[in-house]
Structure 1
Amino acid sequence: MSIRDWPEGERPREKLLTRGADALSDAELLAIFLRTGCVGLSAVDLARMLLDEFGNLNALLSADKTRFCRARGLGEAKYVQLQAVMELAKRHLGERLQREHVMNSPSRVAEFLQAELRSCRQEVFGALFLDAQHRLIAWEKLFFGTIDGASVHPREVVQRALHHNAAALIFAHNHPSGVAEPSEADRQITRRLQDALALIDVRVLDHLVVGAGYSVSLAERGHL
């Protein structure tokens, strides 16, 4: 049965317009993005099949171009559209943070950092540089690869903080495994950076570890 034959209140687009986007399931949201199904499958059926094939929504959104384009009902045009949508979402979140005191909106900080880091296939260590009112000045990805005490250099972080005339920083890095539990190395790096930045009167407000769809705050864990 085509989606056009469904009761109006069950059609994804109409449901979104009347009840809001958060009322839709992952499959329904994906169906709106897909727009059409394929032979024998409605857009919602195709969306459900894709979610089963990739395992979850995050895995589908994070898939590389080759795997994404191989899947039924997708292709290069859909890949380009998806990358554009995700980049728009990142920029929207970043612009909101620039207007706000970030410590008053920790959930938006987490959303922004998850959008920036969750799809990275290697570990990436970055920082939010903040002004004296804790508004966002800049976000930078600083170090790549296996993040440990040898690969994160406090001197370079201090140089970037001085470059941006930052008053405070929030660090973040991802765990490509999807498990966001902080390690002892994560805690040690944070302490080293705190000590280095204290010499120039720059505060470290938090360090978030980003996993698959969620993040863990070292500040909330009492490590700052």
Structure 2
Amino acid sequence: MPQDTRSPCSERPRERLLRHGAQTLTSAELLAVLLRTGTRGRDATDMGRRMIEHFGGLRRLLSAESSALMAFPGMGPAKTCELLAVQELSRRAIEEPLRNGRALSQPGRVKQFCALRLAHLRVEHCIALFLDSQLQLIECGEIARGTLSHASIYPREVVKAALGHHAAALILAHNHPSGLAEPSPADIALTHQLKQALALVDVRLLDHLIVGATEVTSLAERGQV
């Protein structure tokens, strides 16, 4: 039987993935495996490359809403659904250990999960990780969303949400659309207000995470919770 003399570079992305592993493909080629086909005059790899450029990076592409994906040339319902499924599977893969183990025993994974949810957003969002008495994740819910620089977070709404989830503790997280993960005086003041309000209903505030573009700051690690 004649030997296959094709070089890896001459193989299509799907063939290279099976032969040499996903790690050998570029981000555009991995997208091509999902997209399968491109548009007239452009193959799937070229389409993947243009999508990454259009959305401003892989993270923002894989966090884009369905309407933004559908608006890109060549993206129909099927391709859009595939990318949305990848988004959700990524979130669930990171969230799963938080539901099965103590959140405080894996702070790096908590930060990673919050970064995945918030780092790409262009306006400020605040989420809470509601935890049971064993510090396992009950639910992650959005508390507030706002503008490029501010989201109004009301302690009474956080308390109401915590009681609604029967939480024993929670971790708060919000993003800074500026990209900087340094807490502001208002962030620190809010943390103290929330801690006091939650204590009245016997719910602990374990941490407040500030999510920037490339890093996450823990106020608990700074002794400010």
Provide the TM-score with structure 2 as the length reference: 0.78
Structure 1 residues 159 and 55 mapped into 2: Cα distance closer, same or farther (>3 Å)?
A: closer
Aligned partners of 2:130 and 2:139 also within 8 Å: yes
For structure 1, which segment, 176-185 or 15-24, has the greater mean C-alpha deviation from structure 2 after superposition? 15-24
Q: Counterparts in 2 of 1:23-172, with a 5 A limit?
A: 24-146=25-147, 151-172=152-173
Q: Between the two proteins, what is the percent identity of the paired residues? A: 50
Q: Which whole-Å CA distance do the structure 2 matches of 1:77 and 1:202 have between them?
A: 44
SS of residue matched to 2:213: coil
Seen in structure 2, the aligned counterparts of structure 1 residues 21 and 187 have a Cα distance that, compared at 3 Å, is farther
| Contact in 1 for aligned 2:124/2:150 (Cα 8 Å) | no
* Residues matched between the structures, number: 219
Decide which moves more: 7-16 or 73-82.
7-16
Q: Which stretch shifts more, 155-164 or 5-14?
A: 5-14
Look up the equivalent residue of 1:132 and give its one-letter code. S
Change over 3 Å in CA distance of 1:93–1:63 after alignment to 2: closer
Secondary structure at the counterpart of residue 172 of structure 1: strand
One-letter code aligned to 1:143: A
Q: 2:208, 2:220 within 8 Å by CA — same for their partners in 1?
A: yes
Question: Which deviates more from structure 2 when the two are superposed, residues 97-106 or residues 43-52?
Answer: 43-52
Counterpart position of 2:3: none
Distance 1:111 1:21, change over 3 A: farther
| Partners of 1:58 and 1:212 within 8 A in 2 | no
Q: Distance in 2 between matches of 1:170 and 1:200?
A: 16
1:20-67: per-residue Cα shift (whole Å, max 9, x none)? 545543223222222233444443333223323333112323445454
* C-alpha separation in 2, matches of 1:22 and 1:214: 24
Deviates more, 1:119-128 or 1:134-143: 119-128
Aligned partners of 1:128 and 1:140 also within 8 Å: yes
The amino acid of 2:51's aligned partner reads L
Q: Within 5 A, what are the aligned runs for 1:142-221?
A: 142-146=143-147, 151-212=152-213, 214-221=215-222
* C-alpha distance 80-106 of structure 1, shift in aligned 2 (>3 A): same
For residues 52-108 of structure 1, the C-alpha deviation after alignment (integer angstroms, 9 at most, x for no partner) is 333311232344545433434433432232223212332343333111111222232
The residue type paired with residue 95 of structure 1 is E
Gapped regions of structure 2 (runs ≥ 5): 1-5
SS in 1 for 2:59: helix
SS of residue paired to 2:89? helix
**Which whole-Å CA distance do the structure 2 matches of 1:34 and 1:45 have between them?**
11
